[in-house]
Amino acid sequence: MTRQLHLNAFLMSTGHHEASWRLPESDPFANTSVQHYQSLAQIAERGKFDSIFFADSPVLFGDVGRRPAGSLEPTVLLTAIAAATSRIGLIATASTTYNDPFNLARRFASVDHVSGGRAGWNVVTTAGPEAAKNFNLADQPAHAERYDRAAEFLEVAYKLWDSWQDDAAIADKSSGVWALNDRVVPIDHVGRHFQVRGPLNLPRSPQGHPLIVQAGSSEDGKGLAARYAEAVFTAQQTLEDAQDFYRDLKARTAALGRDPDTIKILPGIVPVIGGTVEEALRLEQQLDELIRPEYARLQLARTLRVKPEDLPFDQQLPDDLPDEDEIEGAKSRYTLIVTLARREKLTVRELIGRLGGGRGHRTFSGTPEQVADAIQDWFEADAADGFNIMPAVLPSGLTAFVDEVVPILQRRGLFRTDYTGTTLRDHYGLARPAGRTASLQEATA
Amino acid sequence: MTRQLHLNAFLMSTGHHEASWRLPESDPFANTSVQHYQSLAQIAERGKFDSIFFADSPVLFGDVGRRPAGSLEPTVLLTAIAAATSRIGLIATASTTYNDPFNLARRFASVDHVSGGRAGWNVVTTAGPEAAKNFNLADQPAHAERYDRAAEFLEVAYKLWDSWQDDAAIADKSSGVWALNDRVVPIDHVGRHFQVRGPLNLPRSPQGHPLIVQAGSSEDGKGLAARYAEAVFTAQQTLEDAQDFYRDLKARTAALGRDPDTIKILPGIVPVIGGTVEEALRLEQQLDELIRPEYARLQLARTLRVKPEDLPFDQQLPDDLPDEDEIEGAKSRYTLIVTLARREKLTVRELIGRLGGGRGHRTFSGTPEQVADAIQDWFEADAADGFNIMPAVLPSGLTAFVDEVVPILQRRGLFRTDYTGTTLRDHYGLARPAGRTASLQEATA
Ligand SMILES: Cc1cc2nc3c(=O)[nH]c(=O)nc-3n(C[C@H](O)[C@H](O)[C@H](O)COP(=O)(O)O)c2cc1C
Ligand SMILES: Cc1cc2nc3c(=O)[nH]c(=O)nc-3n(C[C@H](O)[C@H](O)[C@H](O)COP(=O)(O)O)c2cc1C
């Protein structure tokens, strides 16, 4: 069988285009509607997607005037979706900067239990000073410090997930012994950021560990991904950039002694699908015309750490922007936006149009055949192991992808026609991690 | 209509009796089975219960040999149950000592959204040094300090829940304005324990605030309840104790300017139901014989802060136990156990038998008629507004209560025959809190 694509549906209220909520078809209260998301997940499951995914940040970000704002906490939302689906993987974003490992490790293990082994965790360090102010801090911890904490956070989480052996509970009713004490052990973690005694207050979950996903593309972000991630979301504008990123991250992974095939790299794509090219472009244009540029400029100014007045709509970006080194927030997104604007000599207005669709992700408008080609090209050119599908409008953009693009990919032998496993790890072709306690015991036995 | 009882089903794996998992009928892996809990919730909903409830602590407590240990995180579990039910309220325990207000306030608001207004939060301060060690601490904060933090935690949560006006989102597609900026405001909380900027990253939820439940009965616990709680769980062994507690807490509530009817007091009861008294007593005895006394003594020793060797099975408790004042853990449970043992001159073995059923809650064995009488007596003697029903064995004990005791209470006109509202607040007869932002605006308008 040829190498198989992996597809993740990145879901966001009425769609990734910031003006999608203004279309007549859109439910502007979709952001708090569990029925909306359950139905999207069912569409993605019908399309045999590996997983669905929710981004998240513990702060109300940007301007509530601009687009539907506020969102359901992702582990809660995915649990509600678990009940309405049976196979598709469920990936929630959670911050290592503004959570603590005991509670979060338990919550992901709980979602894994409740969903029968379908939980994934997008591990993020949360960029920006705004979030910090919701957690007793005046400003965010430095970028390097956040990533240092993230690595230790994951180490603690692994230890907690493995603190119960899979076979700890023997449930012997006649002798009255429920579990064996030496199979449930404290972790006694003592580190720079955390002291955690353990064990977890929950037996080991169906997948052992939830799938670990990572989505920051700075140097530190790639370092974390190479060490821990099993799937990586990334924003790449050109084939060459995507190939460089892919090569780099696979090499880093191999250099750490991991099989590079155990890390799946999924660039984002915002497909705008039409029956003809003209129809697709018309839809894209209709959406772009609904953007309110003053809101979008405010957001851009915030990302670039300049004042909105410094960004006249009909001029290119100012020359004296800071280096990535000086950015303590989202380094890789910053660089992507500046590089895109400079390379294509875009005015602020044009840049806003380009970002309105996918916030830095690649937008591709065309027929189903053309979208399938775009996916296949990158896949076969070693730029991707699959894609993070980010429909501009929801649900219609997802329905179009599932009904029109997926069958083409299936006919070309690039994508599954049915699920072959039951867990999220099964879908991504990743093994269930052996319990560390168990292997420790074997090693010393 | 006569005053109506409120009933909450306190659910716990195979039942509240610590040996319940050893019965042939019990699923010893029920503690991680979402299907088990969904089915229990459906039984309680069939019985028109106000709510179901899960206790919780962020630590693996006690001995895993003793009984099914570890549990699904309650907000996740209740979300999964929300999908399988439509009316019954869903109350999760969460600690104010080992969480932070932004994330937790959002999570409860999320459960409230997802369940259509059925979320409740049992606010606890988490007793014992063990939990602290999972959160970077060597020991628990002092009892008074934990309650001080709990009060400020709640203040922050209220502000966050009210940081969006109910009518903040206008979703005006034609002008492109989704929400009005002046209806979503920062809370700028600065206090002893927390600095939280806000606003919450989620629109106001169906109930405005989840129902606030409280379950600690120490002096500080009662103080917190009088100020904030809308329902109170409590363990009371005798009618007189329960009446004292009821009178005391209603008076404290009134003294703070609240209508005492807005705080519902629910003592726990562990009903053991049989077709005849003999049958009920036989079941109770069968369960007690399955207790492994060495496990139970270990637990008792831990609660009393003595060594197990200091508790010979056939002697009464030692005379030189500490005062409640010296206990930094669960003060009221400590006092209840010591008082019970002294009052009834119980040996350690007898005390273990009494605690094995309900860990300090009142056990009542009898026919359905007798159980209904026991409930009615306390209810009409102003010892309770309702009960926390804690079946010794699950599901059978809950099924028996719903099918045999509830109809009697209904025939006597003491309990609803159907739901009249849709939210948890509706069931408890409590108003939806007005948004503070809204009233602030009106006040200054
Ligand atoms: C598809 C995708 C989804 C992301 N989702 C989140 C998210 O939900 N929350 C978050 O804090 N960061 C998210 N990020 C990462 C940020 O964009 C940003 O890169 C990161 O917070 C900082 O990483 P960096 O400095 O390593 O680039 C996502 C990135 C990608 C490519
Ligand atoms: C029915 C009931 C349920 C309770 N559930 C919990 C719980 O889940 N977690 C917890 O930490 N405390 C719980 N408590 C409270 C503890 O028993 C203990 O009283 C409390 O943690 C400390 O409060 P106090 O020192 O004010 O008594 C519960 C109490 C009752 C009566």
Q: Is A57 annotated as a binding residue?
A: no
Average of per-residue pLDDT values in chain A: 94
- Does the CB atom of residue A235 touch ligand 1 within 6 A? yes
How high is the pLDDT of residue B240? 96
**B195 pLDDT band (50/70/90 cuts)?**
very high
> If you average pLDDT over residues A269-275, what whole number do you get?
96
Global pTM value: 0.95
The two tokens of residue B82 are 């929300």
How high is the pLDDT of residue A445? 36
Query: How many other C-beta atoms lie within 10 A of the C-beta of residue A389?
Result: 29
How high is the pLDDT of residue B440? 47
Q: Read off the DSSP letter of residue A99.
A: S
How high is the pLDDT of residue B61? 83
CB A128 within 8 A of CB A304: no
At position A195, the amino acid (one-letter code) is Q
**B323 pLDDT band (50/70/90 cuts)?**
confident
Q: Of B33, B122, B107, whose CA–CA distance to B70 is shortest? A: B33
Residues A237, A340: Cα–Cα separation, whole Å: 8
Residues B110, A80: Cα–Cα separation, whole Å: 11
Q: Residue A438: is its pLDDT beyond 70?
A: no
* C-beta atoms of A134 and B196 within 8 A: yes
CA B227 to chain centroid, in Å, comes to 17
A333 CA to middle of ligand 1, Å? 8
CB B397 within 8 A of CB B27: no
How high is the pLDDT of residue A62? 78
Q: Residue A332: is its pLDDT beyond 90?
A: no
In chain A, which residue's Cα lies nearest the Cα of B138?
Answer: A195
CB A14 within 8 A of CB A20: yes
User: Which range is least confidently modeled, A160-174, B126-140, B353-367?
Assistant: B353-367
A257: phi then psi, degrees, rounded to nearest 5: 85, 10
* C-beta atoms of B181 and A57 within 8 A: no
Alpha helices by DSSP H, listed for B256-405, are: 277-289, 293-304, 331-343, 348-358, 368-380, 396-400
Q: Residue A327: is its pLDDT beyond 70?
A: yes
Helix (H) or strand (E) holding A356: helix A348-358
**A69 pLDDT band (50/70/90 cuts)?**
very high
Q: Residue B329: is its pLDDT beyond 90?
A: no
The two tokens of residue B177 are 């304005």
The two tokens of residue A428 are 């991504």
Residues A168, A171: Cα–Cα separation, whole Å: 9
How high is the pLDDT of residue B355? 84
Q: Checking DSSP bridges between strand A119-124 and strand B6-10, what pairing results, if any? A: unpaired
How high is the pLDDT of residue A442? 44
A140-196 tens-digit pLDDT: 999 999 999 999 999 999 999 999 999 999 999 999 999 999 999 999 999 999 999
CATH number for B6-276+363-428 (one of 3.30.465.10, 3.40.50.720, 1.10.3470.10, 3.20.20.30): it is 3.20.20.30
* C-beta atoms of A65 and B178 within 8 A: yes
How high is the pLDDT of residue B358? 66
B9-50 tens-digit pLDDT: 999 999 999 999 999 999 999 999 999 999 999 999 999 999
Contacts of A136 in chain B (CB under 8 A): 100, 194-196
How high is the pLDDT of residue A437? 53
> If you average pLDDT over residues B177-183, what whole number do you get?
96
The vertex-B316 CA angle with B310 and B320, nearest 5°, equals: 60
How high is the pLDDT of residue A443? 41
At position A232, the amino acid (one-letter code) is V
Q: Residue A61: is its pLDDT beyond 90?
A: no
Dihedral angle of Cα B4, B9, B10, B15, to the nearest 10 degrees: 140
How high is the pLDDT of residue B69? 96
Q: Is B385 annotated as a binding residue?
A: no
CB B361 within 8 A of CB B8: no
CB A34 within 8 A of CB A74: no
Maximum alpha-carbon separation in chain B: 80
Name A50's Cβ contacts closer than 8 Å, sequence gap at least 6: A6, A7, A8, A88, A89, A386, A424, A427, A428
The two tokens of residue B262 are 């807005």
At position B136, the amino acid (one-letter code) is N
B234-248 tens-digit pLDDT: 999 999 999 999 999
Around B45, how many Cα atoms within 13 Å sit in the side-chain half-sphere?
Answer: 18
How high is the pLDDT of residue B139? 94
Residues A170, A182: Cα–Cα separation, whole Å: 12
Please count the helices (runs of H) and the strands (runs of E) in chain A: 16, 13
A80-111 tens-digit pLDDT: 999 999 999 999 999 999 999 999 999 999 99
Residues B296, B66: Cα–Cα separation, whole Å: 8
Q: Of A332, A306, A331, A301, whose CA–CA distance to A237 is shortest? A: A332
At position A410, the amino acid (one-letter code) is Q
**A444 pLDDT band (50/70/90 cuts)?**
very low
**B window 409-438, beta carbon within 8 A of A:** none
Find the residues whose C-beta lies inside 6 A of ligand 2: B 55-57, 93, 124-127, 215-218, 220-221, 233-235, 268, 330-333, 388
User: Nearest C-alpha of chain B: how many angstroms from A334?
Assistant: 23
Residues A55, A121: Cα–Cα separation, whole Å: 10
Q: Give the highest mean pLDDT range of A136-150, A428-442, B280-294.
A: A136-150
CB B8 within 8 A of CB B52: yes
Contacts of B28 in chain A (CB under 8 A): 169, 171, 173, 178
A293-308 tens-digit pLDDT: 888 898 889 889 899 9
Q: Which atom of ligand 1 is nearest to the CA of A234?
A: 31
Q: Residue A439: is its pLDDT beyond 70?
A: no
In chain A, which residue's Cα lies nearest the Cα of B57?
Answer: A201
Q: Residue B445: is its pLDDT beyond 50?
A: no
Q: Read off the DSSP letter of residue B214.
A: E
Q: Residue A41: is its pLDDT beyond 90?
A: yes
* C-beta atoms of B169 and A110 within 8 A: no
B396-425 tens-digit pLDDT: 999 999 999 999 999 999 999 999 999 999
At position B139, the amino acid (one-letter code) is D
In chain A, % of residues over pLDDT 90: 85
CA distances from B205 to A397, B105, B228, B273 (A): 29, 11, 19, 39
**A286 pLDDT band (50/70/90 cuts)?**
very high
At position A38, the amino acid (one-letter code) is Q
